[in-house]
Each structure stands twice: as C-alpha cells, then as structure tokens.
Amino acid sequence: MNKRNTQQRRRSILDLLAEQGEVSVDDLALRFETSEVTIRKDLTALEDNGLLLRRYGGAVQLPHELISEAVPSAISARKQALAKAAAALIKTTTALFSTAAAPRPLYCRSFPPNKAWW
C-alpha cells in the first residue's frame, strides 16, 4: 500500500478498527508503510478526539456504553450555558479570541443583536 496523507491514513485506521475490533501498531505500520512512531501519533490523535481507546501495542473500539445519544446532548447543554454566560460578560468594546476547541458558534448565537461579531 502506498503512503497516504495523515487524514486518509487515520480514516483507514478507523475503518480497520470497525472491521476488526482492534488494531496493533506493528500491523498498522506494515500496512501503511510508515513508522511505528507515526502510527502511535495517529492513534493518540484519534483517541484525543474520542474515536478509539488506546491499549498497549494498539487500540480498540470504544465500548458501546461510552457511545450514547445522552452524552452529546448533555455536553451541548453545558456548552450552551457556558456560551451564554461568556457572552453576557463581553462588553461592546471587547475583543474576543478563542481557541479552535472553543464553541465559537455558540458564542455568536448568544450575543445580543447590539453586540457586533466579526
């Protein structure tokens, strides 16, 4: 298999994980013709995004108990509450900077019409 870019490789790792239930660093490194270090970085990034669980020497699928419809809606409600509280603290002359992980669209929707956002 030819080398792929990072996103394609990670998508393929998730596809393999869905088929097999678990994957190993050694097998993935051979399959994608890349280093074990690169595969470990991929697995860490995928775990950080909540897409798999790392195990010694590889990764496994998330248990079904951890994947439910109730969790995202609870997180969403918390984020909405946080966005409303944060928007209430912002004055008209305040500049707002946020990280990529911050719920920016929620902040925007929480601003009153008299506060500009750009």
pLDDT tens column, 28-48:
999 999 999 999 999 999 998
Q: Rounded to the nearest 5°, which phi and psi values hold at 92? A: -60, -35
Pick 83 or 105 by higher pLDDT.
83
Whether residue 95 is predicted with pLDDT greater than 70 in this model: the reply is no
Residue 70 — pLDDT band, cuts 50, 70, 90?
A: very low
Distance between CA atoms of residues 61 and 75, nearest Å: 21
**Domains detected in the chain:** 6-66 (1.10.10.10), 70-110 (no CATH)
Total-model pTM: 0.54
Tokens 């993935």 correspond to what residue?
28
Which segments of 21-97 does DSSP mark as H helices, in order? 25-31, 36-48, 70-89
- Under the banding of pLDDT at 50, 70 and 90, the label for residue 8 is very high
